[in-house]
Amino acid sequence: MIALQEELDHYARNEEDLKRSAPGKFVLIKHNEIIGTFDTQDAALTEGTRRFGLKPYLVRQIGVPTEKLQIPALVLGLINAHH
């Protein structure tokens, strides 16, 4: 199983509702719970770190296709997506 699969699956199940209620915002998901939506990625990351520290959580822009998402720390090689 890939990292954050549970969170990705939860996003997929709720994507249409999120697109209607918070298009373009950033959603914070931990396990099978939507923690909240935020106007900026920084705000979502700040809340995720405040609540979960270094434990994994998903922040994703609502309605943006996965192939268009970029995670600066992954792109720069600061973290990796493998266990």
pLDDT attached to residue 10: 96
Answer yes or no: are the C-beta atoms of 20 and 62 closer than 8 Å. no
Largest pairwise CA distance in the chain: 34
Which pTM does this prediction carry? 0.78
Instruction: Determine the residue type at 53.
Output: G
Domain limits, the chain:
5-75
Mean pLDDT, the chain cut into blocks of 10 residues (83 residues total): 86 97 97 97 95 93 75 46 46
pLDDT attached to residue 65: 82
What are the distances in angstroms from CA 22 to CA 17, 55, 81?
8, 25, 27
pLDDT attached to residue 70: 54
The structure tokens 């106007």 sit at: 39
